[in-house]
Amino acid sequence: MNRINNWKQLLGHANEELKPKGFSIRVTDDGEGFFDCKIYKGRKLLETYAENFFEAELPDLVNEVWGYTLRLAS
């Protein structure tokens, strides 16, 4: 699988696990080729976890924020 595209699938798995706990992770493109990662509790923004990441860095970032959010949720 293409590593760059794998982050979307990984994010989907993370959000499936976090949904019953009331949390979600969102990764957004700023329109200039950089990505931001935010953590939500319900519909409320809990925190901006990271900003200005390249797409190639997103698989590692998603893994990191997934673990961090699981710790927040417990």
Looking at the structure of the chain, the number of domains it has is 1
The predicted-structure confidence for 46-56, as pLDDT tens digits, reads as follows 999 999 999 99
Strands (E), 15-59: 23-29, 35-41, 44-53
Query: pTM for this structure?
Result: 0.91
The domain in which residue 66 lies consists of 3-73
Degrees, nearest 5: CA angle 8-10-5:
40
The predicted-structure confidence for 14-44, as pLDDT tens digits, reads as follows 999 999 999 999 999 999 999 999 999 999 9
Residue 54: exposed, middle, or buried by beta-carbon count in 10 A (0-12, 13-18, 19+)?
A: exposed
